[in-house]
Amino acid sequence: MEDIIVRYISRIIVPFVQLYGLYVILHGHLSPGGGFSGGAIFAASMILYALSFNLSAGTKKLSHDVSSVLESGGALIFAGMGLLAVLLGTNFLGNRAAGFPLGIPGNLFSGGAIMVITFGVGIKVASTMITLFYSLIEGEGHSHD
Amino acid sequence: MNYILQYLLLLFLVACAVAVARTRDLLAAVIIFAAYSLIMAVLWQLLAAPDIAITEAALGAGVTTLLLVAAISKTRRQE
């Protein structure tokens, strides 16, 4: 895909899509959306970048190894926050009972562990979809068109 | 009276679903499927489910389309 219009438009639009994805992830406990939706939006921006330029430009921004590590890291953040609540003496993924600061309802930094958990889910979903795309596009075989 | 937009969108939805199944050109089918997802996202929003609408717009119209286009670029375009 050597189209200058696609490249120019995607170069303009990718930062805004990524900002919106981070917004949806970080406001997951306040507004519609959350880790899954925001992660999908973020992954869509990276896939758009890699598809409109080429795969080497995409892997230069976020390599295959890094996205694999992030994929495990997001799951580890989720499990770690759950086990941290167990260590603090409550159930798995306990929030208020574990003593996380709840803050004022409606503020960005409120809800205790929910924000960190949502961030972990967002990282996991985004890197999973990017890894899926990389694995699909860089396999063996040649194009017929 | 307020449901005219919803019925119109549902009509487009059915038309898109039939067109996806009947199109021989796979790239055209993928694009129609993206339009299907976009209509579905608007319908979720009208049904007061903005969470699902965001997910449908990002996954159905975005990631799925890109993955299918990538799959077509690896294989044949005609069915």
What are the pLDDT digits (tens) for A24-62? 999 988 888 888 999 999 998 988 888 888 778 778 888
At A145, is the pLDDT very low, low, confident or very high (cuts 50, 70, 90)? Answer: very low
Of all residues in chain B, the one with the smallest CA distance to A42 is B58
Query: Angle CA(B56)–CA(B58)–CA(B64) in degrees, nearest 5?
Result: 85
Q: What residues of chain A, 118 to 137, have a C-beta less than 8 Å from chain B?
A: 129, 132-133, 136-137
B25 within 8 A of B60, measured Cβ to Cβ: no
| ipTM score above 0.90 | no
In a domain, residue B79? The reply is no
In a domain, residue A143? The reply is no
Residue in B54, B63, B69 nearest the CB of A129: B63
Q: Which residue type, as a one-letter code, is found at position A137?
A: I
Between CA B61 and CA B55 the distance in angstroms is 9
Query: Angle CA(A127)–CA(B52)–CA(B6) in degrees, nearest 5?
Result: 145
Q: Is A142 exposed, middle or buried (0-12, 13-18, 19+ CB in 10 A)?
A: exposed
**Which residue from A78, A81, A10, A75 is spatially nearest to A44, judged by alpha carbons?**
A10
Between CA B71 and CA B40 the distance in angstroms is 23
Residue B60 clears pLDDT 90, i.e. is over it: no
Domain region containing B35? 4-74
In a domain, residue A51? The reply is yes
Low-confidence winner among A93-97, A137-141, B16-20 (lowest mean pLDDT): A137-141
Give how many domains chain B has, as a whole number: 1
Share of chain A above pLDDT 70, in %: 94
Return the C-alpha torsion angle A109, A112, A117, A122, nearest 10. -20
At A140, is the pLDDT very low, low, confident or very high (cuts 50, 70, 90)? Answer: low
In a domain, residue B23? The reply is yes
In a domain, residue A142? The reply is no
Q: What is the pLDDT of residue A1?
A: 53
Of all residues in chain A, the one with the smallest CA distance to B72 is A143
* Nearest-CA distance B37 → chain A (Å): 15
B27: its two tokens = 């790239």
Residue A4 clears pLDDT 60, i.e. is over it: yes
B32: its two tokens = 């129609």
In a domain, residue A18? The reply is yes
In a domain, residue B62? The reply is yes
A43: its two tokens = 């992954």
Q: What is the pLDDT of residue A98?
A: 81
A7: its two tokens = 């490249």
**What mean pLDDT is reported for chain A?**
86
Domain region containing A47? 4-137
